[in-house]
Structure 1
Amino acid sequence: MKNIIFLFFIASLLLVSVSCNEIDNIFGNKKEDPNQLGGSGNTPIAQVGNTFDLSPVIGNKAIELNEKIKILKNENGLITMDVECDIPNIPELKTYIDRIPSTMKSNGRIKTQLKFKITNEGLQDFFNKDEKPHTLVKYNAKVGDEYKLTKSDGKTITRKVIARSDVDDFPYGFFDIKTITIEQDSRIAGIKKFVYRANHKFGLVHVEAHMDDGSIVKSYVFTTNY
């Protein structure tokens, strides 16, 4: 009996000396950082030279952007993307186009470079004011998963997985594919929310901006490589 009490006492001391994180590791309960993205950056869609095409629509009206979107650099999945497109002369979008910095506009075109992280495990962007990595999707996501990012101004951007299809039910070019659907709250006046669809092979495949007036601006995103 004394030996049992002694062993219990030692075990108790060990547990007290182990941090909560270490206990979580032992029992497999450690929470994954939603903005920590692993995996290989050597994927077809992340290859230097890969290009992307858009098909933007407002309501039932197609928008012609004459876009040129190309990956310039891939450093272990950290992507530099060159983006160029026409500045559309569309009254419904004028307020938002006017907010684009003049440094990104030249001769009636928008010209800029964007940064992403693209791996075989998911996607991240750096669009927030602090340019921190913010997960757009993890391909092992479950419905209800959230990817939150708190900015330096104290405001939090929340992305939440609201659907995951187990069958090829989303039309994408010549294919029907499985998708993960993510909803993001908006801090932009006039825009209620954003909705993204992603696929483990094609990456980001569809984007929607839901406006306060009930209209939706949406676009497919087509990759050349896959």
Structure 2
Amino acid sequence: MKNYILPFAATLILAVLAFPSCSLIDGDDKPLGGEPSPMGEVNTSYGITALPNGVTDADAVVTARNGEVSTITYSATITNPAVLEMISAMPDVTVSGNRASVSRDYRITTKGFQSVYEEGNLTIMDYDAKEGDTYSLKHNGKKLERKVSKVSKEDVYEWGFFLIKTIHVQETGRGIPGVSKIEFIGIHKWGMVGLKVYFEDGTDQTFGIISSANN
């Protein structure tokens, strides 16, 4: 199962933090607050590392900014025909040849990252979060929940050549076959630094994220 689902898991990075519009927001949907971050400025890019076979040239670029809301466009080359067909069926995804792309809106501030929908906001990561904090929404009768699972006090997370402190937010309820949960990893200075996919067979895969800007 893992060998099949890995390329699709990589497309979660393309839509990193992305989710279709939701019919009902459950919980506090207030704007995150903080000052606009350089990571939300137009042309800021996010590189993605440790991609599996069948997925190449994955990246994310801020293509527009309207006030405090930034639009990020995610793109990747998909050479696995089955995965490309799956991606083509996703809402708002554009496919040209083997190149797939999708755009989503976010509030990216000095306080954190937040998904922005017509119906409201869903926090991805609050840099002031405490372990146990939760953010959730309901979509098509299913509950998507993000919960702060860890706030490290020491520099123990390996990121490139550095050891850094990190905040970990685990998401459940997305309903991807073979995937049990997704974990967003970040910190104030560098923003989102990784995404970890947990598979139902007990294995996992971590993807690195590197921004061209920082707080």
TM-score bracket, shorter-length normalisation: 0.7 to 0.9
Higher relative contact order, chain-length normalized (CA < 8 Å, sep 6+): 2
Q: Which has the higher helix share?
A: 1
The aligned residue for residue 128 of structure 2 is: 140
Q: Which residue of 184, 192, 196 corresponds with 1:208? A: 196
The aligned residue for residue 107 of structure 2 is: 117
The aligned residue for residue 7 of structure 1 is: none
Q: Report if the CA contact (8 A) 1:134-1:147 is conserved.
A: yes
Shift of 1:133: 2.0
1:69-113 Cα distance to aligned partner (Å, 9 max, x none): 21122223211112221014287x578546435852111110222
The aligned residue for residue 149 of structure 1 is: 137
The aligned residue for residue 32 of structure 2 is: 37
Q: What stretches of structure 2 of length at least 5 have no aligned partner?
A: 1-26
1:130-180 Cα distance to aligned partner (Å, 9 max, x none): 7642101111100111111133x3432111111101112111123221110
1:51-75 Cα distance to aligned partner (Å, 9 max, x none): 11001345xxx66521342112222
Shift of 1:126: 4.4
Q: Which residue of 71, 79, 82 corresponds with 2:62? A: 71
1:5-154 pair list within 5 angstroms = 33=28, 35-41=30-36, 43-58=37-52, 64-89=55-80, 97=87, 99-100=89-90, 103-126=93-116, 132-151=120-139, 153-154=140-141
Using the size of structure 1 for normalisation, the TM-score is: 0.72
The aligned residue for residue 154 of structure 2 is: 167
Q: Distance in 2 between matches of 1:199 and 1:144?
A: 17
Q: Report if the CA contact (8 A) 2:112-2:126 is conserved.
A: yes
Q: Report if the CA contact (8 A) 2:185-2:193 is conserved.
A: yes
Using the size of structure 2 for normalisation, the TM-score is: 0.75
Q: Which residue of 151, 160, 163 corresponds with 1:176? A: 163
Shift of 1:220: 0.7
Q: Report if the CA contact (8 A) 2:84-2:98 is conserved.
A: no
Q: Report if the CA contact (8 A) 1:35-1:135 is conserved.
A: no
Superposed CA RMSD: 2.7
Percent identical among aligned pairs is 26
Q: What is the number of equivalent residue pairs in this alignment? A: 187
- Structure 1 residues 219 and 103, CA gap change in structure 2 (3 angstroms): closer
- Structure 1 residues 95 and 73, CA gap change in structure 2 (3 angstroms): closer
